Amino acid sequence: MKMIALAGNPNSGKTTLFNWLTGSNQSVGNWPGVTVEKKQGILRNYKQFVVQDLPGIYSLSPYTAEEVVSRKYLVEQAPDTVVDIVDATNIERNLYLTLQLMETGRPLIVALNMIDLLKKQQRKVNLKKLSYLLGVPVIGISALKKKNLSQLEETMIAETKKQTSYPFPKYDDRLESALTMISQQLIGIVPEEKARWYAIKLFERDEQVEQELNLAVERQSEIEQTIVTAEKLFQDTSDSIVVNARYDLISQYVRMCVIDENDFVTSMS
Ligand code: GDP
Ligand code: K
Ligand code: MG
- Cβ–ligand 1 distance for 144 under 6 Å, the answer yes
To test the pocket of ligand 1, the residue of 9, 11, 20, 141 to mutate (highest count of ligand atoms within 8 Å of its CB) is 11
pTM for this one?
0.94
- Cβ–ligand 1 distance for 10 under 6 Å, the answer yes
Q: What is the pLDDT of residue 264?
A: 64
Query: Mapped to the 3 state alphabet, what secondary structure does the chain carry?
Result: CEEEEEEECCCCCHHHHHHHHHCCCEEEEECCCCCCEEEEEECCCCCCEEEEECCCCCCCCCCCHHHHHHHHHHHHHCCCEEEEEEEHHHHHHHHHHHHHHHHCCCCEEEEEECHHHHHHHCEEECHHHHHHHHCCCEEECECCCCECHHHHHHHHHHHHHHCCCCCCCCCCHHHHHHHHHHHHHCECCECHHHHHHHHHHHHCCCHHHHHHHCCCHHHHHHHHHHHHHHHHHHCCCHHHHHHHHHHHHHHHHHHHHEEEHHHHHHHHC
Nearest CA to ligand 1 atom 6: 13
- Cβ–ligand 1 distance for 56 under 6 Å, the answer yes
pLDDT digit string (tens) for 105-159? Answer: 999 999 999 999 998 888 999 999 999 999 999 999 999 999 999 999 999 999 9
Atom of ligand 1 nearest to the CA of 113: 23
Q: Nearest Cα to 196, choosing from 67, 78, 104, 133? A: 104
ipTM of the complex as predicted: 0.97
* pLDDT of 268 higher than 60: no
- Cβ–ligand 1 distance for 148 under 6 Å, the answer no
- Cβ–ligand 1 distance for 111 under 6 Å, the answer no
The stretch 30-40 carries a mean pLDDT of 86
